[in-house]
Chain A
Amino acid sequence: MLDFAPTEEQEEIRKLAQSLALDHLRPHARRAEAEQDSSTELRLTLAQTGLTSPFPEEYGGSGPLEAVTYTLIAEELAYGDPGLALNIIGSLMGPLTVWLAGSHEQQQQYLPPFCNPTSGYLQRGSLAFAESTGTYRLADIRLQARRTSEGYLLTGTKRDVVHGQRADLRVVLARLVENENENEDKVAEGKLCAFVLPSPLEGLSIQAEAEKLGLQAAPSARYRFTQAQVPASALLGEAGSSGVVRAATLYQILRAALACGTARAAFEYCSAYARERIAFGRPIVSYQGIAFMIAEMAMKLDAARLLTWRAACSWDRGEADETLIREAESAQRQAIKMAQAATTDAIQVMGGAGFMQDHPAEMWMRDAAAME
């Protein structure tokens, strides 16, 4: 039955995430941008809430959360700061993929370090999704995994891998192919699969992404695989399983939520500014040219958020893979597009001040642009 209200429990978790965002993310956003990472204290603070270890209790986690709940959390974190939020979510996606796609044995091997009460907060996970040849759509994944007698040979690229350089757990999405030198179309049709990369791995070169346009607080890297041999045990679960699709679509849904949070930050910030700023003797928001821009922002934010929630609901209900992919990719596309428009308009509302680094609007505009 149609319903648009979070549960009481979800509302409590959302409020917790919001207070973390306002007290611990927003104030440190510029520093994190400069240092290109989150601070250890912030990681510890977050770990203590249990929000960063949503894994089964048998591995020491605080218990899995629903996608809807995590969507609410991700929006709040990005409302605090998009870069730091991506830093957190990006790390989480590594172990989450192991949990969703891996065998029980693999879960036992990789999850407990992330749940360790004294050192878990220092662990970094990573999930390599997008490639130099494409976007964050599953159809664009071209990294080839060719079966060999010893395991799999990986060939291809990845970009934008949050924590790719320093990760303790590196998971990559790939396509299973049977023959050498498969043509592009065949690769695209290969079964989707996820691997945990051994470290070090011969044939893998990792390069930190520098001079990024936005989202600097989430350090990221590029991977280049040239015939990198990984053992058979590196494959998480089975190739083509729903678990991999669930992990990938969860990332897309959370990226949509991050975009919503970014847009909300910009919307609220420029609204407050427009209320105070006087021009021609009146608050600028009393002019329709400004008021309508802000109304438009609010409307489109709500629209994209609803689309994101719908995808999360379907994820929680365990809808079929094709449905999840379609809905998650729609949400991701629309939310990011919306966030780019909202952050750009927020600067316009603020005039010259919006362009200055004294205000966070310019950072949010770059962050939203960097979500592609």
Chain B
Amino acid sequence: MIDFTLSKAQQAAREYAHQVALEEMRPISLECDRTEEIPESFFWNMQRRYWGGAAAQARAFGQDEGVRQENLLTVISQEEMAWGDAALATAIPGPGLAAPPILSQGTPEQQARFLGIYMDGQLHWGALALTEPGIGSDVAGMSTTAVLDGDEWVINGHKHYITNGARADLIVTFATIDKRLGREGIRPFVVPKGTPGLIVGRIEKKMGLRASQTAELIFDNCRIPKENMLAGRGEKKEGFKAAMGTLDATRPMVGAMAVGIARAAYEAAWEWLREELPAGYPPQQRRAWEEELEELGQEIEMARFLVWRAAWMADRRIPNSKEASMSKAYAGALVMKATATAVRITAPGEDSERKQLIQKWFRDAKVFDIFEGTAQIQRLVIARRLFPNIDIP
């Protein structure tokens, strides 16, 4: 039955995450953005209050409700986390983007071995390395190679723009085992931190999401055990499928983050109109802004519903590539519009912390049109699903 009300678990996911975002993220948001550094206390607080608190409680309620809803619970809480601070949200300890490929392509033994690391209560991160200086959108054209030498894979290549790349305990790295095979030669490998030959290069300076770590990784004869290849089920296209399947799960999460930032900007713009609008503004101007914000509010709701629907499909194991891309594409465009609108509306008047936050969110927003597949790539995915028999290059 079509239903837009949140269950107890879903409500818990939202409320607890919101509390954490409000109390642990907002107070340090501007400072972390300025310094591009995150205090260690934040990580421990997240360990305790997010994993040990909000997420655990939502999951516990969810188990009582008897339906699979991990994806829904995640997008609901991701929206709140990004409402708090999207950069800090990417730095919450945990396997992060490394988890989906391990879960979808790892054998049970590999899942236990790799994900077990994250259960010891210490601070651990994960990363996913697809992008290279030479290729981004065109993942299939990657040039990082993996060659089997005895009991070891030897990885050589160059990845960049890798979120949490320098702090990750495990990096799921995609490489080709045979370039002639094109996309079918691509496989995911789990590379542990500290492996000889894994070199952390530069940490990028960015327009936004500055507290999020974006690293360059160089693989120079980097040797990992044979058992670290995730292609447990051995089918031909498994590797590439793993990369793409991962995106179906993570795109709604990225969409949810975009919704969270959009909502933060939207709320702040309303508050500014109520509390900071300089005296003497003509009422028609104010009314025009209010109408613009009302419209934006409606678009935020639509973006959220697209995100929820894509996550709900994932929970039901309904193929959702098209819907996942819709949620990401819509939310990615919306967050730019929302933050740009908030910057414009709040331009007059004195400087304030609220305005600085709005400007930060504006800088953060643009990346949501880029990572996890650009706006164009999302539209390609949607179009290819709509027209499966037509070659849309």
Contact = CB atoms under 8 A, between A and B. Distances in A.
B4 interface: yes
A298 B382 contact: yes
Nearest to B297: A330
A210 interface: no
A1 B2 contact: no
Interface in A308-345: 309-310, 312-314, 317, 330, 333-334
B204 interface: no
Given A2-B312, A330-B301, A302 B323 contact: yes
Nearest to B375: A292
A185 interface: no
Contact of A307 (B72, B302, B383): B302
Interface in B375-393: 376, 379-380, 382-383, 386-387, 390-393
B298 A307 contact: yes
A298 B386 contact: yes
A65 B382 CA distance: 34
Contacts of B393: 286
Contacts of A306: 302, 305-306, 309
B244 interface: no
Residue among A6, A283, A314 with the most chain B CB within 10 A?
A283
B4 A334 contact: no
Interface residues of B, number: 40
A2 B383 contact: no
Contacts of A292: 376, 379-380, 383
Given A298-B326, A317-B5, A285 B383 contact: yes
A3 B312 contact: yes
Which among A6, A303, A330 has the greatest number of chain B C-beta atoms within 10 A? A303
A1 B306 contact: no
B227 interface: no
B4 A313 contact: yes
A296 interface: yes
Nearest to B393: A286
A371 interface: no
A198 B302 CA distance: 42
B1 interface: yes
A292 B7 CA distance: 36
Contacts of B7: 1-2
Nearest to B382: A295
A299 B299 CA distance: 12
A68 B305 CA distance: 16
B227 to A, nearest CB: 39
A314 B392 contact: no
A117 to B, nearest CB: 31
Contacts of A10: 2
B387 A285 contact: yes
Contacts, number: 117
Contact of B2 (A68, A275, A286, A330): A68
Interface string A273-314: 001000000010110100110111011101110110110111
Q: Which of B72, B302, B386, B387 has the most CB of A within 10 A?
A: B302
Interface string B60-71: 000001010000
Interface residues of A, number: 37
With most chain A CB atoms within 10 A of its CB, the pick from B299, B303, B323, B382 is: B382
A3 B3 contact: yes
Contacts of A294: 383, 386
Q: Which interface residue of B7, B323, B392, B393 has the most chain A CB atoms within 10 A?
A: B392
Nearest to A338: B302
Contacts of A302: 306, 309, 323, 326
A4 B2 contact: yes
B305 A307 contact: yes
A286 B305 contact: no
B327 to A, nearest CB: 9
Contacts of B5: 1-2, 313, 317
Nearest to B67: A1
B1 A291 contact: no
B323 A275 contact: no
A300 B2 CA distance: 19
A345 to B, nearest CB: 13
Contacts of B386: 271, 294-295, 298
B43 interface: no
A180 B32 CA distance: 63
Nearest to A292: B379
A300 B331 CA distance: 11
Among B1, B295, B313, B330, chain A packs the most CB atoms within 10 A around the CB of B1
A5 interface: yes
Nearest to A311: B4
A7 interface: yes
A283 B312 CA distance: 34
Interface of B: 1-7, 10, 65, 67, 72, 295, 297-299, 301-303, 305-306, 308-309, 312-313, 322-323, 326, 329-330, 376, 379-380, 382-383, 386-387, 390-393
Given A296-B379, A313-B5, 17 more contacts: A1-B7, A1-B67, A4-B313, A285-B392, A288-B383, A291-B379, A291-B380, A291-B387, A292-B379, A295-B386, A299-B330, A302-B323, A303-B303, A309-B4, A310-B301, A313-B3, A333-B295
22 contacts: A1-B6, A1-B7, A4-B308, A4-B309, A275-B387, A283-B390, A285-B383, A286-B393, A288-B379, A288-B392, A294-B383, A295-B382, A295-B383, A295-B386, A298-B326, A306-B305, A307-B302, A309-B2, A310-B4, A313-B3, A314-B4, A333-B298
Q: 10 tightest CB-CB pairs across the interface, nearest first?
A: A1-B7, A306-B305, A291-B383, A303-B302, A295-B382, A299-B326, A3-B3, A295-B379, A330-B298, A292-B379
